[in-house]
């Protein structure tokens, strides 16, 4: 009985696996799935080119205003740990940020008011949900929110950009 089971059952099982594979690959997964990915890649490339052009324009305007070059005055804020919204303390976010400032005076102001900067960053990060924070496309809007919030709290400080040196969700 057992040899018959192996002789008939094993080949039958292999044939079933092959049939399931072809059904899954050709019927269940749409064929235009790959073309959708190509469109997304093209959209990402075009948005990257737009951002690049915008950053070049921003650099030119900052040079005309007499500001120092980008990356010259960076204020670092290391290892901010927060619980995102709707996690009940079960998820942590670890972030380290660098604030690119236009002048050395602005950097000095940020260093003197580091507690205000930390509070703004913690408040903003803890108000966001895990899906928002884990979405890499959302990071630019997160940076914009952070810049506008800090600009309100410290009107004399102009932040050119914010860089994440660490961003870990666990």
Assigned fold of 72-169: Tetrahydropterin Synthase; Chain A (3.30.479)
How does the average pLDDT of the chain come out, rounded?
Answer: 79
In order of 30, 52, 70, 83, 115, the CA distances from 138 in angstroms are 28, 18, 23, 18, 25
Calpha distance 164→168 (Å, rounded)? 10
Is the per-residue pLDDT at 20 higher than 50? Answer: yes
**pLDDT range class, residue 114, cuts 50, 70, 90:** very high
pLDDT digits (tens, 9 = 90+) for 121-138: 999 999 999 898 888 888
In order of 19, 90, 132, 155, the CA distances from 148 in angstroms are 57, 29, 19, 10
Q: Looking at residue 64, what is its pLDDT?
A: 43
Domain ranges of the chain: 2-30, 72-169
**Average pLDDT, stretch 78-98?**
89
Q: Looking at residue 55, what is its pLDDT?
A: 53
Could you identify the residue written with the tokens 């005055």? 73
């Amino acid at each position: 009985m057992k040899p018959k089971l192996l002789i008939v059952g094993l080949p039958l099982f292999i044939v079933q696996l092959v049939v399931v594979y072809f059904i899954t690959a050709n019927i269940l997964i749409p064929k235009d799935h790959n073309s959708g990915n190509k469109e997304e890649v093209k959209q990402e490339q075009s948005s990257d080119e737009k951002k690049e052009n915008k950053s070049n324009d921003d650099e030119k305007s900052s040079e005309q205003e007499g500001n120092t070059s980008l990356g010259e005055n960076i204020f670092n804020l290391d290892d901010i740990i927060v619980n995102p919204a709707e996690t009940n303390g079960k998820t942590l976010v670890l972030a380290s940020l660098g604030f690119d400032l236009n002048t050395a005076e602005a950097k000095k102001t940020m260093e003197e008011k580091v507690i205000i900067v930390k509070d703004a960053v913690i408040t903003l990060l803890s108000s966001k949900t895990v899906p928002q924070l884990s979405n890499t496309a959302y990071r630019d809007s997160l940076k914009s929110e952070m810049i506008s919030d800090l600009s309100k709290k410290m009107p004399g400080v102009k932040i050119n950009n914010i860089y994440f040196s660490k961003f870990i969700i666990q």
